[in-house]
């Protein structure tokens, strides 16, 4: 099993490469990422800067790149030929996994054919909900029907498929949530992976602005019991459908975990290129210019878009190992976290010298991590 292997070799899928594509058909109400509305011709300068950065920085990591993840934004809004300019920089690399993020309204069979020829092995589809009312609330550009059609199209081409789901919006009542759960049951045979996140109010988003500056305060479900109930129901349904929880917000069928993201959580090395992209190489974390426009200008004028670098101390590395490791089923080694405090006995369990969260512990992961960090 993948997770057993990763306990023996946590760097098995290191290094990875992340490529950020900031273009979208529209900016969703909850989105705080580095994105902008796509217009014809607006991507050419960005793609040129992106390939320039990738070529110049690829030597910073081991040449045996294991995973490539093209995210955003909406990479599928671009023509495959533009994405190929980025991918060909990695020509000759024997990737274990190649993920492309896509949205239902911009994915077509012609594009899927090109993706497969390009080497894409996995599509991460931003569905978010199977209720059109909720999709409208989010400002999404697709309908439930388009989501189903996109799922069927990906399955037709034999690519692995992951869905993103967001629950807990103010527009989502129990009936809406039931629609999403029922739809997941209907399409489960075409899925390999599901990510489910509770909606959060992020600063500088339209959703946050509506909450702060209008009388409408029910933009997001704040009742922790309701959110926990929906999380537990998703967990139960997905388990019944053959998925297991391998990270707090992620479920996969056997051997279909996202290798690229596992590398993040286990602190393997990765190179991030594009606006807002982060890298972790050696013991150094680096972040790129957030604005797509300034990113392009900086690459052309300076040659590097890195705006911050942090050299981690040994204690900072220990803290990260606990904060990230406790989230996933690999867990945290006893040698790093020490003994389990009695106050955590119902939330943490130990197997073969590794601490992992119980089902209830997942809901209190941050608190558990902080207690383990202070448990020197």
In the predicted structure, residue 242 carries a pLDDT above the cut 80? yes
User: Taking the domain 313-376, which CATH number applies?
Assistant: 1.10.10
**Confidence tier at 229 by pLDDT (50, 70, 90):** very high
DSSP secondary structure letters along 3-21: HHHHHH-TTTT--EEEEEE
**Confidence tier at 213 by pLDDT (50, 70, 90):** low
- CA within 13 Å, CB half, 305: 33
Cβ distance 159 to 125 under 8 Å? no
Q: Is 100 helix (H, G, I), strand (E, B) or coil?
A: strand
Cβ distance 280 to 270 under 8 Å? yes
Nearest to 71 by CA among 31, 108, 41: 31
Q: Which tens digit of pLDDT belongs to each residue from 151-167? A: 999 999 999 999 999 99
Q: Which tens digit of pLDDT belongs to each residue from 11-61? A: 999 999 999 999 999 999 899 999 999 998 889 999 999 999 999 999 999
Per-residue pLDDT, averaged over 344-355, amounts to 94
Share the mean pLDDT of the chain.
Answer: 94
Has this prediction a pTM greater than 0.75? yes
In the predicted structure, residue 4 carries a pLDDT above the cut 80? no
Alpha-carbon 299 to chain mean position: 25
**Confidence tier at 222 by pLDDT (50, 70, 90):** confident
Cβ distance 184 to 194 under 8 Å? yes
Query: In terms of CATH architecture, what is 2-265?
Result: Alpha-Beta Horseshoe (3.80)
Among 115-129, 263-277, 342-356, name the one with the lowest average pLDDT.
Answer: 342-356
Predicted pLDDT of residue 364: 96
List the Cα angle 192/99/227 in 5-degree steps.
55
In the predicted structure, residue 215 carries a pLDDT above the cut 50? no
Domain ranges of the chain: 2-265, 313-376
Among 5-9, 266-270, 360-364, name the one with the lowest average pLDDT.
Answer: 5-9
Cβ distance 139 to 171 under 8 Å? no
Q: Which residue has the tokens 């109400």?
A: 29
Alpha-carbon gap, residue 208 to 231, rounded angstroms: 23
Q: What are the phi and psi torsion angles at 305 (to 5°)?
A: -110, 10
Cβ distance 84 to 32 under 8 Å? no
Cβ distance 151 to 204 under 8 Å? no
């Amino acid at each position: 099993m993948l997770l057993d292997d990763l306990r023996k070799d946590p760097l098995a899928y290191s290094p990875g490469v992340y490529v950020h594509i900031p273009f979208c058909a529209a900016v969703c109400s909850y989105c705080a990422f580095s994105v902008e509305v796509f217009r014809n011709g607006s991507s050419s300068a960005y793609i040129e800067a992106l390939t320039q950065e990738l070529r110049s920085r690829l030597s910073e990591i081991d040449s045996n790149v294991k995973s490539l993840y093209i995210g955003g934004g909406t990479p599928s809004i671009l023509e495959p030929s533009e994405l190929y300019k980025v991918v060909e920089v990695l020509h000759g690399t024997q990737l274990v996994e190649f993920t492309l993020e896509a949205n239902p309204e911009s994915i077509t069979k012609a594009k899927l054919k090109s993706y497969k020829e390009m080497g894409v092995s996995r599509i991460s589809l931003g569905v978010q909900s199977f209720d059109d009312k909720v999709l409208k609330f989010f400002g999404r550009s697709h309908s439930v029907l388009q989501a189903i059609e996109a799922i069927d199209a990906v399955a037709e081409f034999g690519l692995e498929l992951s869905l993103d789901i967001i629950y807990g919006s103010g527009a989502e009542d129990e009936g809406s949530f039931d629609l999403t759960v029922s739809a997941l049951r209907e399409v489960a045979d075409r899925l390999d992976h599901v990510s489910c996140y509770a909606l959060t109010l992020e600063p500088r988003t339209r959703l946050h602005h509506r909450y702060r500056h209008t009388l409408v305060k029910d933009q997001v479900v704040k009742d922790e019991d309701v959110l926990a109930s929906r999380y537990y129901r998703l967990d139960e349904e997905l388990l019944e459908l053959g998925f297991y929880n391998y990270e707090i917000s992620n479920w996969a069928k056997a051997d279909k975990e996202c290798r690229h993201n596992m590398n993040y959580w286990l602190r393997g090395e990765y190179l991030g290129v594009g606006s807002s992209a982060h890298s972790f190489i050696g013991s150094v974390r680096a972040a790129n210019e957030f604005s797509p426009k300034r990113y392009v200008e900086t690459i052309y004028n300076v040659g590097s878009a890195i705006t911050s670098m942090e050299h981690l101390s040994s204690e900072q590395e220990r803290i990260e190992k606990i904060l990230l490791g406790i989230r996933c089923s690999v867990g945290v080694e006893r040698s790093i976290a020490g003994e389990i405090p009695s106050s955590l006995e119902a939330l943490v369990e130990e197997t073969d010298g590794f601490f992992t969260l119980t089902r209830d512990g997942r809901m209190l992961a941050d608190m558990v991590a902080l207690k383990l960090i202070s448990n020197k």
